[in-house]
Structure 1
Amino acid sequence: MATAPARRLILLGGGFSTEDDGLLDDWTLSHVGVSRPKVCFVPTASGDAPAYVERFLTAFGSRDCEPGVLPLFRRDLDDDALRTLLLSQHVVYVGGGNTANLLAVWRAHGVDRLLREAYDRGTLLCGISAGANCWAAGSHTDSFGPLTFLPDGLGLLPGSVCPHYDSEPGRRSSYQEAVASGSLADGWALEDGIGALFTDGVPTESVTRTPTARLHHVQADGRGGVVVRTLSCRPLGRGDAEVRGTAGEFTSPPPM
């Protein structure tokens, strides 16, 4: 009996759209395991912004891969061709933008179902910001203007996700409040600069392109606060030593 492939996804706190060193994108491609993998960029969350698409093609066109793009606002593929395209990819890379809009458009076109099928078949799914939020059951987002919780997502990753945990004012406190209150399930907070690989829903590797960036697991403590566990990350481009910093557990007071 054939063994089912591992289901893998990567949450990115950076990449071609925010940095020029390519460390996180090269690390992502290193997990594919084939020569010249097919990498499909899905820019739905940005409304298929042309400049975003061009930046992806420039960045990945110089790598040993076959880059492509799936536009949905000017879709030219029928349902069969859309399924064939997505299921033939080794990597699906989802860009940032508006998480709520992304989910609505995907569902209108059936992309949510196709990505779940691709995930179950072993396609590596990844993304930054909204492209990280979308894989979880819920997320922390500014899709509606002010920072808030969105108890909606594809649910491929249990729990919730919060991007930009360290770089956007209010992110940390607002996400902790959402988890503490039960508005969002326990989940993962990404600082800018990290990459986190999940295999069958479990974190199996975390890396960072900056010395201080971390990945955090935020869990309600049942008393109106949260417990935050900070995971060690391996620094990219700096050998194999782990960055440990403040790794461990600490308890925050109840959010104000």
Structure 2
Amino acid sequence: MGKIVAIGGGELRFHETLPIDRYIVEFSNIENPKLLFIPTASNDAQGYIDTVKAVYGEQLGCTVDTLCLVDQDISDEAIKDKILSSNIIYVGGGDTVKMMEIWRTKKVDQYLKEAYAHNIVLSGLSAGSICWFLEGHSNSSIETNRDGWWDREQVIGLGLIPANHCPHYNEVGHETFDDKMLDKEVPGIALENNVAIVIDGDMYKIIKSNIESKAYVLKKCNGKMNKIELNNRDFKPLSDIL
């Protein structure tokens, strides 16, 4: 039960993640699937919406719909219907803290958990990756991120993947994730740009759009942080790392 593709980063508009995007579509096991884009983290940016329609719609054959929540007045029932009638959910990047606040006021978090239980593919990049985990390492905004990459206001995700998470792990500032993980009892999953972790029930694997990109699991042991690179392209038990 449950399908997730969490992408560490990359520019969708420049096709940097295209092999991963193609996998997401195939992962639905449906021809011409219905994809719902949720651009809350980018403030429902029209340019982002247009990019998703171009890549997932025109190139990859999805029927693309968008759930705009920032300035649009939409009922809880309409939100639920959009989410649960989709085959794929794709969550865009941006301000993770603001996104989660809006989601919780509109019950989006609850409906996404229902989508997970219904085996709808949940996917996304950056903020759209953090949201599936317990907590996230984010650079959302100056209001919540005055001390660097780790938000002062900790991003609390949906907890569908029982780990903490750092996207953009190849970018400046990611080092603070390692330090913060020393205070955490659960493992951490760190993803560089152009790499994703795929969850299918209780199994996982790593997929890449750039062979040089890396994924890691971080675990605390005897007061020290052990970091192990994840390379498996075939599914393995999630319990091996979490």
Deviation at 1:147, TM superposition (A): 1.1
Q: Which residue of the other structure, out of 8, 16, 24, is the alignment partner of 1:13?
A: 8
The answer on whether the counterparts of 1:195 and 1:207 sit within 8 Å (CA) in structure 2 is yes
Distance of 1:154 and 1:19 partners within structure 2: 29
Task: Give the counterpart letter for 1:64 in structure 2.
Answer: G
Q: Which residue of the other structure, out of 152, 159, 162, is the alignment partner of 2:163?
A: 159
The answer on whether the counterparts of 2:138 and 2:155 sit within 8 Å (CA) in structure 1 is no
Q: How does 1:57-136 map to 2 (within 5 A)?
A: 57-62=53-58, 63-136=60-133
How many residue pairs end up in the alignment? 226
Q: Do structure 1's residue 179 and structure 2's residue 181 form an aligned pair?
A: yes
Deviation at 1:211, TM superposition (A): 2.1
The answer on whether the counterparts of 1:215 and 1:233 sit within 8 Å (CA) in structure 2 is no
Deviation at 1:76, TM superposition (A): 4.3
Distance of 1:56 and 1:15 partners within structure 2: 13
Task: Give the counterpart letter for 1:161 in structure 2.
Answer: H
Task: Give the counterpart letter for 1:226 in structure 2.
Answer: M
Distance of 2:169 and 2:8 partners within structure 1: 9
**Other structure's SS at 2:159 match:** coil
Matching residue of 2:172: 169
Distance of 1:78 and 1:55 partners within structure 2: 26
Task: Give the counterpart letter for 1:114 in structure 2.
Answer: Y
Matching residue of 2:195: 194
The answer on whether the counterparts of 1:208 and 1:233 sit within 8 Å (CA) in structure 2 is no
Deviation at 1:189, TM superposition (A): 0.2
Deviation at 1:18, TM superposition (A): 5.3
Matching residue of 2:225: 226
The answer on whether the counterparts of 1:38 and 1:66 sit within 8 Å (CA) in structure 2 is yes
Instruction: Report the TM-score, using the length of structure 2 for normalisation.
Output: 0.87
Q: Deviations over 1:78-103 (max 9, x none)?
A: 22222111100011000000111110
Q: Do structure 1's residue 46 and structure 2's residue 50 form an aligned pair?
A: no
Matching residue of 2:29: 33
Deviation at 1:220, TM superposition (A): 1.2
The answer on whether the counterparts of 1:8 and 1:197 sit within 8 Å (CA) in structure 2 is yes
Range with bigger deviation, 102-111 or 60-69: 60-69
Task: Give the counterpart letter for 1:162 in structure 2.
Answer: C
The answer on whether the counterparts of 2:10 and 2:193 sit within 8 Å (CA) in structure 1 is no
Deviation at 1:67, TM superposition (A): 0.8
Identity %: 28
- For structure 2, the residue ranges without an aligned partner over 5 or more in a row are 235-242
Matching residue of 2:240: none
Matching residue of 1:215: 215
Task: Give the counterpart letter for 2:160 in structure 1.
Answer: L
Task: Give the counterpart letter for 1:9 in structure 2.
Answer: I
**Other structure's SS at 1:56 match:** helix
The answer on whether the counterparts of 2:8 and 2:196 sit within 8 Å (CA) in structure 1 is yes
Which segments of structure 1 move beyond 6 Å, counting only runs of 4 or more? none
Distance of 2:189 and 2:79 partners within structure 1: 31
Distance of 2:15 and 2:181 partners within structure 1: 34
Distance of 2:14 and 2:106 partners within structure 1: 31
Distance of 1:142 and 1:185 partners within structure 2: 21
Deviation at 1:16, TM superposition (A): 5.8
- For structure 1, the residue ranges without an aligned partner over 5 or more in a row are 1-5, 235-239, 241-256
Question: Higher relative CO (CA 8 A, sep ≥ 6), structure 1 or 2?
Answer: 2
